């Protein structure tokens, strides 16, 4: 069973571990969207705890993840719409982990591509313009 605690080397300096909770017993419909809302955070230690909470829950969630997926789309979209490179990179890493976290999650994301992908297209176009400018 996975307990929710951070090893001392993973806890940022100044943050205290207060308790240990079995991740599998958490209400995924409540906590996973809450952590995904934290993807917009850019302030330490909030961004660290949001990111670590997401990865821990995805690691131990199994079949609890797929039913929560629709609740995760708006926080993902909000994080991408910040257009902050750091937030986008973290969000893309979270999306990668989300897709491999449980069966059928990747397939279940397909209907939401129209909400998630437009922001990434903006960055793709930016990179293409930079490439053209450097070639000239």
Confidence of residue 7 (pLDDT cuts 50, 70, 90): very low
Confidence of residue 58 (pLDDT cuts 50, 70, 90): very high
CA–CA separation, 35 and 31 (whole Å): 6
User: 68: how many CB neighbours lie within 10 A of its CB?
Assistant: 19
Residue 15 has pLDDT above 80, yes or no: no
Q: Which residues pair with 4 in a beta bridge?
A: 21
Q: What percent of the chain has pLDDT over 70?
A: 77
Mean pLDDT computed over 84-103: 93
CA–CA separation, 48 and 73 (whole Å): 20
For position 135, what pLDDT does the model report? 57
For position 5, what pLDDT does the model report? 47
For position 125, what pLDDT does the model report? 65
* pTM exceeds 0.85: no
What is the 3 state secondary structure string of the chain? CCEECCCCCCCCCCCCCCCCEEHHHCCHHHHHHHHHHHHHCCCCCHHHHHHHHHHHHHHHHHHHCHHHHHHHHHHHHHHHHCCCHHHHHHHHHHHHHHHHHCCCHHHHHHHHHHHHHHHHHHHHHHHHHHHHHHHC
The structure tokens listed for 42 are 């850019």
Q: Dump pLDDT digits (tens) for 106-134.
A: 999 999 999 988 888 877 766 556 555 55
Mean pLDDT computed over 56-63: 93
């Amino acid at each position: 069973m996975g307990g929710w605690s951070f090893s001392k080397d993973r806890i940022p300096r100044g943050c205290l571990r207060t308790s240990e909770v079995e991740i599998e017993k958490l209400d995924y419909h409540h906590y996973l969207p809450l952590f995904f809302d934290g993807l917009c955070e850019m302030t330490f230690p909030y961004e660290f705890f949001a990111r670590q909470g997401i990865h821990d829950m995805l690691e131990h969630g199994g079949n609890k993840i797929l039913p929560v997926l629709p609740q995760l789309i708006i926080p993902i979209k909000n994080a991408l719409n910040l257009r902050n490179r750091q937030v986008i990179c973290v969000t893309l890493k979270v999306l990668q982990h989300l897709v491999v976290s449980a069966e059928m999650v990747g397939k279940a994301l397909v209907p939401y591509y129209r909400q998630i992908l437009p922001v990434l297209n903006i960055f793709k176009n930016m990179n293409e313009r930079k490439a053209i400018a450097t070639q000239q």
